[in-house]
Structure 1
Amino acid sequence: MRVAGALRPRRRVAVAREEVQPLAGEPVEVETDDGARLHVEVDPADPAQVVPGAPTVVLCHGYGLSADAWHFQRLALRGRHRLVLPEHRGHGRSTRGPAGPVGLARLADDLGQVLDVVAPTGPLALVGHSLGGMTIMELAVRRPDLLERTRAVGLVATSSGGLAAFDHGLPLLGRHLVRWAEQALQRTAERADVLERGRRLGADVEQRLVSHWSFASPVSPEVERLAARMMAGTSVGTIADLLPAFGTLDETEALVALAGRAVLVIAAERDLMTPAAHGRTIADAVPGAEHVLVRQAGHLVMLEHPAVVTARLERLLARAAGDVEHGGHGGGDEVVLPVAARSRPRRVRP
């Protein structure tokens, strides 16, 4: 295992106020077989920058977020790669579809149908954060035709199972609170309008909670607001639809299917949603997978330490393209202490 600072991405990505404004691509709407309308952003590759044969890079966001979760990675990669950023049903600008519980199988089918429309041919690199990573793992089992075209897989702050036993940073209470939340959301689904009004009234409290469970070190106010805005934009109904899926998650079969591809697993040391040990489990189950543990990082590691995540994704894509000089040979363990985290104390939260 090696300990390193953040690799420098080929394009510097600074956290500045103007850079957290939404990025616009070519919007595509994909209607699924059950009637949900999924919003997809597509950033075309620049012929002058793209490497011939480079895969289409698919960036799948996490639970309660939107395509904006990949803001900094999108900013760095656009032009050099064709980027596809789908939004899960009920998230961002996608419609919820039929009401009721939504499992990983449904989300994987959604992703497969998106790729059938926007990337029907050619090599793929599938990158997912949290729920997005779980969706990609499920897709690997359900759509072997897409897996055959997949050259690289990036799994960021995600899990392949066992979340029902995790306390989410609340020893003794965490598991009980999750179950209570499931039951409460199910009982009040028909009064979602009341809950939504309550969320708006408690917006400041919600932002503080989002920050607590999303980041482990100081981030700019703009990044905090971006995270809170994405989560506030996800309806209570969508949260209720998906919450039960985490307790039954088991993607063991998918990890076997990923063998033989360039696989990157990024885990965040202080992740209160998908613990770092779950990233270790995934990497151990996929021969040749690269495992990166980011110190002083929370669940939204790609927003908290964007340079670290971007650099490792660039290295993964270089591996997928066979660029040994820039991509390395893959595999192994790395522990990263982000440069910015070395010189600042952890924020004391009120």
Structure 2
Amino acid sequence: MTPSRKLMGVVGGLGAAATGAAATALTMATRQRRLHRDPYEDEPLGQLPPDRVSTVAADDGVPLYVEEIDPADGGAADVTLIGVHGIAMSVPSWHFQRRDLAALTLPRVRQVYYDHRGHGQSGPVTAETATLEQLASDLHSVIRAVAPDGPIVLMGHSVGGMTIMALAEEQPELFAERVRGVSLIATAAGEVGTRGLPKRVLSKYSPVSWGVGGIGGIAEWQPEIIEFVRAASGQLTRRAVRRLAFGGDPGESVVVFLLELLDVTPVRELVKFIGTVDGHDRYAALAGLKHAEVQVIGGDADLILPFSHCERIADELPDAQLVRVSGSGHVPQLEHPEIVNSYLIDLLQLACDTDDKSGGKLGGRVGLRDEALRGLLRRWFPS
């Protein structure tokens, strides 16, 4: 590990790496959370319209639902960001990222989000195709169809991060030639079954066993019963979501939003992925990311995939940026979107090798990050 390149951002109220507008944003965000129990009660969660919707055919013909978001100012995009969601999630789970990153001009970002097979509005999955290898192939199909050229940054949450690792294993030339940056959020490169909640707990709270490699118990054999329980006992499920997915007090609106996301995908689809995630071991595949700028973001209160998984990935990638989000659970992109987005801005600018106004290269990126964040401040905290 080389301290000059690896940055350990311990962020709760203020990040160790946050300066200027970034520090202001994090301070104000923390202050707002203390003053208002539900800071997103007026947020149109999951209701942002895309600029384009399309269907991409996977290699076996399964339709994959895709949304695209252009830069808000209408300018030409400098980079395409592709979001790869986790198990039981779907396109709307990237709500805060698609909202804020569209406003960037340094660089301008075109965003692409899609639903995994068996999820959201994409086609069905079978027991034979519920593999990380197939999900990686699906991601490659999306790239070829809607981002056939130009620089790419990949952002994966939980199983989405594992999918990116599988793609790096299967298509190393893509990462050597076009993938400029990778953000791995609350994910693991292996040993999923050895760290995190035991299967007996996941079985009890099976409706939210969406981030790890085992639902266990009754969910494996009788998913229709779990569907009935999920529909009949919303209060219990809400408590389970709050307990397992979040680290602190995220506000009722975000909890309800996540619950709605989890309700979209039937459990009978989710259990098909148990085996492939249990067997996930791609520490060696991480070498395929060596050509890209990499950041690893995780919450130190993640019960699903503990932060030690992020640390292990960072150990394998000594040039990666490791970000520890203090008090966050398994969905930091929903629980602490201001923090996650500020680091995504860093990654996007590094990936684009953004010039400053004087013609300098990366040496000016802190100022650029501050300039970009000032625009986001106006969105996050309107006067």
1:300 and 2:331 are equivalent in the alignment: yes
Aligned residue type for 2:181: A
> 1:65 aligned to 2:89?
yes
User: How far, CA to CA, are the matches of 1:50 and 1:279 in structure 2?
Assistant: 34
Alpha-carbon distance between aligned partners in 2 of 1:86 and 1:301, rounded to the nearest angstrom: 19
Contact 1:36-1:98 at 8 Å conserved across structures: no
Change (3 A) 1:212 1:119: same
Cα distance in 1 for partners of 2:41, 2:228 equals 31
- Give the count of matched residue pairs: 321
Deviations 1:214-262 (A, max 9, x none): 1111112110111111111111122111122221111112211111321
CA contact (8 A) 1:216 1:296 kept: yes
Q: Aligned in 2, Cα 1:186/1:82: closer, same or farther, shift over 3 Å? A: same
Q: Whole-Å Cα distance in 2 between the matches of residues 121 and 93 of structure 1?
A: 26
**Pairing 1:38–2:61 present:** no
5+ long unaligned stretches in structure 1:
329-350
- CA distance, structure 2, for counterparts of residue 46 and residue 89 of structure 1: 29
Q: Deviations over 1:32-85 (max 9, x none)?
A: 22232111111123565556xx22001111111111111111100115310000
Q: Which moved more, 1:174-183 or 1:252-261?
A: 174-183
Q: 1:71, 1:253 → 2: CA distance?
A: 32
Letter in 2 for 1:43: I
Query: Is 1:129 matched with 2:157?
Result: yes
* TM-score, length-scaled by structure 2: 0.77
Percent of aligned positions that are identical: 31
The match for 1:107 is 135
Mapping of 1:216-295 within 5 angstroms? 216-295=247-326
User: Counterpart amino acid of 1:85?
Assistant: Y
Cα distance change, pair 175–162 in 1 and its aligned pair in 2 (3 A) = farther
- TM-score normalised to structure 1 length: 0.84
Query: Matched residues in 2 for 1:3 and 1:58: separation?
Result: 26
Which digits, 9 at most, give the CA deviation of each residue in 1:289-340, with x for residues without a partner? 0001111000011111110000000011111111325646xxxxxxxxxxxx
Q: Of residues 145, 148, 151 in structure 2, which corresponds to 1:117? A: 145
Taking the aligned partners of 1:314 and 1:16, their CA distance within structure 2 comes to 25
Q: What is the identity, as a one-letter code, of the residue corresponding to 2:143?
A: L
Separation of aligned partners in 1, 2:61 and 2:248: 41
State the match for 2:172 in structure 1. 144
Unaligned ranges ≥5, structure 2: 1-7, 30-38, 355-361, 367-383
Instruction: Rate the CA distance shift 1:180–1:309 in 2: closer, same or farther, 3 A.
Output: closer
1: CA distance between counterparts of 2:320 and 2:215? 35
Question: Given the alignment of the two structures, is residue 187 of structure 1 paired with residue 229 of structure 2, yes or no?
Answer: no
Tell me how far apart the structure 2 counterparts of residues 59 and 151 of structure 1 sit (CA, whole Å): 14
Instruction: Provide closer, same or farther for how the CA distance between residues 36 and 97 of structure 1 changes in structure 2, counting only shifts above 3 A.
Output: farther
Name the structure 1 match of 2:122: 94
Matched, 1:17 2:46: no
Aligned equivalent of 1:199, options 184, 208, 230:
230
Runs of 4+ in 1 over 6 A off after TM superposition: 10-14, 175-180
Partner of 1:342: none
